[in-house]
Amino acid sequence: MTSLTLENIGISFGGLRALDGVSFTANSGEVTSIIGPNGAGKTTLFNIITGIYQPDIGKVLIDGTDVTGEAPHDLARRGMARTFQNLQIFEQMSALDNVMAGRHLHERRNVLADMFGLPSSRKCNRESAIAAQAALKRVGLGGVANRPAGDLSYGQLKRLEIARALTTEASLILFDEPAAGCNAVESREIDDLISSIASDGAAVILIEHDMRMVMRISSHIIVLDHGRKIAEGTPETVRKSPQVVEAYLGVHGAKEAGAALA
Amino acid sequence: MSPVLRAFLIISALLLLAPLLFPSVYYYRIGVLVLINTLSVTGMVVLLGYVGLVSLGHAGFFAIGAYATAVLPAYGIPPILTILVGAIGAALVAAFIGKPILRLKGHYLAIATLGFGMLVWMVLSKEAWLTGGPDGMVVESIDVKAPFELLGIKIKTAIAWYWICAVAVVIGIVLATNLANSPAGRAMRAVHESDVAAASLGIDVARTKLTAFIISAVYASVAGSLLALFNRYVTPDTADFLHSIEIMTMTVLGGASSVYGALIGALILTSLPQMLTVFAEYENMMFGAIMILTMVLMRQGLAPAIAQLFSRGRK
Amino acid sequence: MSEFVQFCFSGLTVGAIYASVALGFTLIYNASGVINFSQGEFVVIGGMTTAVLIASGVPIWLAAPIAIIAAVIAGMTLYKLAIEPARGAPLVTLIIITIGASIFLRGLMQTVFDKQIHRYEGFSGEQSIAIFGAALLPQSIWILGGSLVVFVLLVWFLSRTKAGNAIRATSSDILAAKLAGINTNSTMMLAFALSAATGALAGVLATPVTFTSYDAGVLMALKGFAAMMLGGVGSPAGALIGGILIGLIEAFTAGYISSDYKDAAAFLVIFLVLFFMPGGLFGMVRVERV
Amino acid sequence: MKRFLAATTILATLCAPAIAEIKIGATLAITGPASFLGDPEAKSLKMVVDQVNKAGGINGEMIKLIIYDDGANPNKARTFAIRLIEEDEVVAVVGASTSGTTMALIPLFEEAEIPFVSLGGAIAIIDPVKSYVFKTPHTDRMACSKIFEDIAARGMKKVGMISGTGGFGASMRKQCLEIATATGIEVVADETYGPKDADMTPQLTNIRNAEGIQAIINPGFGQGPAVVTRNYAQLGIELPFYQSHGVASNSYIELAGKASEGVRLPATALLIPDLMAADDPQKEVVLNYISSYTEMTGEPVSTFGGYAYDGLRLVLEAIRAKGSSKPKDIRDGLEEIQGFAGVTGVFNFSATDHLGLDLSAFRMLEIRDGGWTPAK
């Protein structure tokens, strides 16, 4: 059981308040989504959770332990993984190698053994390859394992990042717009994937613009606007909050939103 | 075939066959210099090619190895052992300075490493009581023919050196290739391409960079020790800024992404000046022009360009 | 007191030369993101050409502009033949190209001129001026003034002129600059030309003090590069302050501590500054967007 | 295999020996930090070869000169030395411009038994004597002796030194410190500067302020001493000022300008051809060298070019005297040379002396009215 708790997170950039008093909890086995208009501070929030930014105030807790300000790789060691809104793919490496890199924490790390090609290092490599293959299959990229990542399509890269995060076996996974730029079919596949990851027991946090997707798979939604949390609850609650609809889509968009959210 | 086996076979074959083209000891000397350079460049491939860090001060590590070999025998350490001591010394120095300076990025890292190389150079030229000052010092020679005579082979010194360095290079390249395809090497390449993504996977970026920095320092140091033993003389030139640039240039010209690039870069830049002597005073101009032209036409370096040529040929 | 002032004069003179070189670096860096390691050769082209012309009877007011024009031509040719065709290449590749260019230019000067050391008389004579018991050469004032003027012109140019704005736009986002209708190629060519002119001017002013020879550029580039890094890449103020600081550190170390390790002291200070300010004194560390 | 054959054919054509040719090699610092030495040296060597070949060669054979530019880098110098020995098959080698490169090459020539006439200054080159190694420049120790002799003669007891950090300056600084101790003169200030530094006023300020200082010595070559001299004038220092033989050239006076007035330095006859006695054995050689060198290059002569000029002429003299161009004979011939007038001095080699010069070849000169005069 893993839970992530944010307490009163706030951060400013050059006097501009990017986040202000944001608190929530995400639990394992659930998909917690963060939604809000562009510039609401969603990705900034992700960067604080994953240790890239330091919050000015507030705390990040994993299972009750204060992890605020820990380095990203230490947070990963605590079982956190993420994908990126602007893809962060290792383009010169093969798809398989990309995912194998995700096995880092499961590998025995001894650089001398690696250089001398000792059996322990090779065994490690084999095991990582098997795990990575499995993860690639799970996201439907089993066929392109040996292609250079740079040759893959955008949709494939999105899934590659998911596979890479998956293969860390993290208990807390953050997805930053995993379906952005994907077509309906791909979107659907990613949906199912994320649901299944959550039902496998991980705590999933999701940023997504595709409302259909958010409403379908989230158990819990947090709505941000201008750096503040303006609503929180089940999809039902959020959907019904007129304040959210207005803040999120503006008055003009409200009608369309009604249609989309219906 | 695994990349390691392939590298081992190709490089060994090249090094075994090369002497067929050597009509005299002079060619063996060039061969040895190419090999010693290949060794330091291989270290640079790990640093620049794997983790993507620029160092303009690697001659500093090269000189640490060279001077360890020159100075230590006077303190009772046998010359062969000085290679190891030098390598450990270089690794410690790299670990010590790497911690603060590897946080720097791009050009800032370049100036910090450059400063390190300059400092080594200064110490070597000013502390004459230990290093002989700017005019350098004599290195105790070792009998490289002995192991061959043990096998019943009579051989000239320079030729013996060629085979010793060839073995060193093959080992160096195999180790570096092993690394490339291992967990640690994958972490390095991941850091190279995106350090945020690497960190998100639990890779300690600073540590990974430091590891590569130390490995490359050890390569340079061993190469330095070999050169000192081979030349039987060292001067602070080994730590010169221009030598650092030379190592860097060989790496980039050959193609930083592969160990083959190390060999090609070292081969070209070591033998080119020998061929250009016919141009007398135009030598420098030719050299500069060739450098520019190669980099403009082959941005990724020679090795990838050659590989492309081969694969196109196969198709 | 008189010692202190003397060390200051020494540091300021030498520092101003480093600063001028660093300003040349800054200009090209701002336009293209490239550190041009052949910047030192522009300085030498300026000094050498002037020296050779003066030696053959050309007056300084004519020799200096000719020298600067020669450097500008070299700078533009360098851009056209070596940098432009390699646009978009990895940064290290570009660095190696500029290093190749520096070797080439050195070879060229060695054949066009000679390997002798050259100098000419200072513009306002050689009689030193006594200030607070210390002696200052009039040429030092020329050098200091020159670097200040270059600095002011550079700041003005980058922030107030259309071409300067184009340079800044090109550096921050080349694609956006292109979309905004900026001819990025001619903008960069302009940056190389101006940078060469800056370097050559430094050479013209400094040669009576520093002397010059075909291979003097290496050290110039090294110090100028160090100055720019100390000040912070891309910042004209950083280049100016960085250069002068390095000059002062060298002079004071030589004067008060040990002349053996004056260059070491400069690098130690750079280490320290970068340790606490990884972007140099005036530089910014860019926050990566992920 | 085909490539191998092609390569050997090319090499064979390149290396095809012409008939009756004496091959002499040189590896010099023509570019790089010591190009100040190597450049005039290379020009002087070419000039000798031209002159000798025009006059019909030596013993009826033409001289072929092979020069490489080692940039004062010992690693490169070694490569070129091996190339000269193995590929070019030279019978003798002149050069290595600096002491550092020379020291790196000595074992090679000793092993190959090829006579090697070094142009480096350090005393370690010929002390202890090595079978195949000779040198033509005065040692830096001799220069220091000469300077301190002069200082002692003027009754001065306390001096300051400012030395270049290059090989030349560092080595000479060490010798001078030793000689100072030996002659009972105290060095009260000991400063250094980098070879390309632009301003040495801080160091000179410290020297000027040293307690009881009576004279300043500046070992170094290249532009450094000229900068030091200008700074010395800028600061208005009026102490007696000694330079080394490293700047014994008119270009020093040109670079240092009026500031060089009154500077003393130990130098060879090369600088004062007109002041030499008519019966001076060196007079003709010196005048010849000066006129042909300036005519060929348009540059003023320097001591360094003179070293190379002497070096090659000594080798040729040995060949002529022995009637053979076998390396062993050249070596023996060199050792037998007596009373050979060169531009640097009159050489008398022996089995125990591979320099062949004594202090008498050094003259203490003073710069007066922009020219050289014997110091009084």
Say if the Cβ atoms of B183 and A109 lie within 8 Å: yes
Overall average pLDDT of the C65-83 stretch: 95
Q: Which residues of chain C does A84 touch, with a Cβ-Cβ cutoff of 8 Å?
A: 290
- Model confidence at C168, pLDDT cuts 50, 70, 90, reads confident
Sign of CA dihedral C40, C45, C47, C52: positive
Q: Which of residues 89-108 of D touch C (CB under 8 A)?
A: none
Say if the Cβ atoms of B203 and A108 lie within 8 Å: no
- Model confidence at D222, pLDDT cuts 50, 70, 90, reads confident
Contact of B284 with chain A, judged by CB distance below 8 Å, is answered with no
Q: Which CATH number is associated with domain A1-79+170-262?
A: 3.40.50.300
Q: What is the pLDDT of residue B233?
A: 92
Segment A138-195, tens digit of pLDDT:
998 999 999 999 999 988 999 999 999 999 999 999 999 988 888 888 888 888 899 9
Q: What are the Cα distances from residue C15, in Å, to B118, C105, C239, D159?
A: 19, 25, 10, 30
Say if the Cβ atoms of C104 and B285 lie within 8 Å: yes
Strand partners, A4: A26, A62
Segment B190-211, tens digit of pLDDT:
999 999 999 999 999 999 999 9
Mean per-residue pLDDT over chain C, rounded: 89
Same domain, residue pair D214 and D239: yes
Q: What are the Cα distances from residue B223, in Å, to B171, B175, B219, B238?
A: 13, 15, 6, 11
How far is it, in rounded angstroms, from Cα C218 to Cα D194?
14
Non-local (6+) Cβ contacts of B234 within 8 A are B63, B66, B67, B69, B70, B136, B137, B139, B227, B228, D74
**B262, B302 Cβ separation under 8 angstroms:** no
Same domain, residue pair D156 and D260: yes
* Number of alpha carbons in the 13 Å side-chain half-sphere of residue D179: 23
Q: What is the pLDDT of residue A248?
A: 63
Q: Which of A73, A101, A125 sits opposite B205 (nearest CB)?
A: A73
> Do B and D touch (≥3 CB pairs < 8 Å)?
yes
How far is it, in rounded angstroms, from Cα C24 to Cα B215?
36
- Model confidence at C289, pLDDT cuts 50, 70, 90, reads low
Segment B129-175, tens digit of pLDDT:
899 888 899 999 888 888 888 888 888 888 999 999 999 999 999 99
Same domain, residue pair D255 and D166: yes
Q: Which residues of chain C does D230 touch, with a Cβ-Cβ cutoff of 8 Å?
A: 126
In CATH, what number is assigned to the domain containing residue D110?
3.40.50.2300
Mutate to test the interface with D, among C110, C116, C215, C260 (most CBs of D within 10 A): C116
Overall average pLDDT of the D348-370 stretch: 90
Segment B28-43, tens digit of pLDDT:
999 999 999 999 999 9
Q: What is the pLDDT of residue B187?
A: 96
Would the pLDDT of D7 be above 70? no
- Model confidence at D300, pLDDT cuts 50, 70, 90, reads confident
**D196, D172 Cβ separation under 8 angstroms:** no
Q: Which helix (H) or strand (E) holds C267?
A: helix C262-276
Segment C189-217, tens digit of pLDDT:
999 999 999 999 999 999 999 999 998 99
Nearest chain D residue to C118, by CA? D255
Where b means 16+ CB within 10 Å and e means fewer, B178-200 reads: bbbbbbbbbbbbbbbbbbbbbbb
Say if the Cβ atoms of C274 and B282 lie within 8 Å: no
- Model confidence at D1, pLDDT cuts 50, 70, 90, reads very low
Q: What is the pLDDT of residue B146?
A: 87
Q: What is the pLDDT of residue C48?
A: 96
Overall average pLDDT of the D280-303 stretch: 90
Q: Find the chain B residues whose C-beta atoms sit closer than 8 A to any C-beta of C.
A: 48, 54, 100-101, 103-108, 110-112, 114-115, 118-119, 122, 126, 196, 241-242, 245, 248-249, 252-253, 256, 281-292, 295-296, 299-300
Per the domain annotation, does D9 fall within a domain?
no
Domains contained in chain D, number: 2
Mean per-residue pLDDT over chain D, rounded: 90
Would the pLDDT of C287 be above 60? no
Q: What is the pLDDT of residue D110?
A: 94
Can you list the alpha helix ranges (DSSP code H) found in chain A? 42-49, 72-77, 95-101, 111-115, 119-138, 154-166, 184-199, 211-217, 235-240, 242-261
Q: What is the pLDDT of residue D237?
A: 92
- Model confidence at D363, pLDDT cuts 50, 70, 90, reads confident
Non-local (6+) Cβ contacts of D12 within 8 A are none
Q: What is the pLDDT of residue D309?
A: 96
Segment C131-157, tens digit of pLDDT:
888 999 999 999 999 999 999 999 988
Per the domain annotation, does D314 fall within a domain?
yes
pTM: 0.92
Domain ranges of chain C: 2-276
Would the pLDDT of D162 be above 80? yes
Q: Which helix (H) or strand (E) holds A58?
A: strand A57-62
Non-local (6+) Cβ contacts of B225 within 8 A are B65, B66, B68, B69, B82, B83, B86, B87
Q: Which of B21, B24, B237 sits opposite D74 (nearest CB)?
A: B237
Say if the Cβ atoms of A114 and B215 lie within 8 Å: no
Mean per-residue pLDDT over chain B, rounded: 92
Nearest chain D residue to B237, by CA? D73
Overall average pLDDT of the B98-113 stretch: 89
- Model confidence at D9, pLDDT cuts 50, 70, 90, reads very low
Q: What is the pLDDT of residue C82?
A: 92
Say if the Cβ atoms of B197 and A89 lie within 8 Å: yes
* Number of alpha carbons in the 13 Å side-chain half-sphere of residue D304: 29
Under DSSP, the state recorded for D123 is: G
Would the pLDDT of D6 be above 70? no
Overall average pLDDT of the D266-283 stretch: 87
Domain ranges of chain A: 1-79+170-262, 91-169
* Number of alpha carbons in the 13 Å side-chain half-sphere of residue A213: 27
Say if the Cβ atoms of A117 and B197 lie within 8 Å: no
Q: What is the pLDDT of residue D16?
A: 46
In CATH, what number is assigned to the domain containing residue B54?
1.10.3470
- Model confidence at D17, pLDDT cuts 50, 70, 90, reads very low
The range of the structural domain enclosing residue D319 comes to 21-138+282-359
- Model confidence at D248, pLDDT cuts 50, 70, 90, reads confident
Q: Which of residues 122-141 of C touch B (CB under 8 A)?
A: none
Q: What are the Cα distances from residue B192, in Å, to A103, B198, B216?
A: 17, 9, 15
Would the pLDDT of D18 be above 60? no
Non-local (6+) Cβ contacts of A244 within 8 A are A223, A230, A231, A238
Under DSSP, the state recorded for C108 is: H
Q: What is the pLDDT of residue A211?
A: 81
Same domain, residue pair D228 and D366: yes
Would the pLDDT of C118 be above 70? yes
Contact of C105 with chain B, judged by CB distance below 8 Å, is answered with yes
Name subunits touching C (3+ CB pairs < 8 A).
A, B, D
Would the pLDDT of C255 be above 60? yes
Q: What is the percent of chain A where pLDDT is above 90?
A: 60
Non-local (6+) Cβ contacts of A225 within 8 A are A36, A37, A40, A247, A248
- Model confidence at D4, pLDDT cuts 50, 70, 90, reads very low
Same domain, residue pair D232 and D370: yes
* Number of alpha carbons in the 13 Å side-chain half-sphere of residue D18: 8
- Model confidence at C178, pLDDT cuts 50, 70, 90, reads confident
State the complex-level ipTM: 0.90
Q: What is the pLDDT of residue C90?
A: 82
Q: Which residues of chain D does C219 touch, with a Cβ-Cβ cutoff of 8 Å?
A: 196
Mean per-residue pLDDT over chain A, rounded: 88
Give the tokens for residue C195.
């940078």
Q: What is the pLDDT of residue A241?
A: 81
How far is it, in rounded angstroms, from Cα D97 to Cα D72?
7
- Indicate the class that CATH gives domain C2-276: mainly alpha
Q: Which of D73, D82, D99 sits opposite B135 (nearest CB)?
A: D99
Say if the Cβ atoms of B126 and C260 lie within 8 Å: yes
Give the tokens for residue C225.
């590069």
Residue C218 vs residue D15, higher pLDDT:
C218
Per the domain annotation, does D8 fall within a domain?
no
Would the pLDDT of B4 be above 70? yes
Say if the Cβ atoms of B288 and C103 lie within 8 Å: yes
How far is it, in rounded angstroms, from Cα D229 to Cα D261?
10
Q: Which of C13, C251, C260 sits opposite D192 (nearest CB)?
A: C260
Q: Which residues of chain A does B203 touch, with a Cβ-Cβ cutoff of 8 Å?
A: 73, 76, 101, 104
Q: Which of B126, B252, B292 sits opposite C104 (nearest CB)?
A: B292
Residue D6 vs residue B220, higher pLDDT:
B220
Give the tokens for residue C236.
């004209």
- Rounded to 5 degrees, φ, ψ at A151 are -90, -10
Q: What is the pLDDT of residue C133?
A: 86
Q: Which residues of chain C does D257 touch, with a Cβ-Cβ cutoff of 8 Å?
A: 121, 126
Q: What is the percent of chain B where pLDDT is above 70?
A: 99
Non-local (6+) Cβ contacts of C88 within 8 A are none
Q: Which of residues 246-275 of C touch B (CB under 8 A)?
A: 260-261, 263-264, 267-268, 270-271, 274-275
Same domain, residue pair D48 and D100: yes
How far is it, in rounded angstroms, from Cα B35 to Cα D255?
45
Q: What is the pLDDT of residue B314?
A: 57
Domains contained in chain B, number: 1
Q: What is the pLDDT of residue C41?
A: 96
Same domain, residue pair D35 and D46: yes
How far is it, in rounded angstroms, from Cα A132 to Cα B107?
36
**C216, C44 Cβ separation under 8 angstroms:** yes
Same domain, residue pair D238 and D370: yes
Overall average pLDDT of the B18-22 stretch: 90
Q: Of the ranges A217-231, D17-31, D306-320, which one carries the lowest mean pLDDT score?
A: D17-31
- Model confidence at D8, pLDDT cuts 50, 70, 90, reads very low
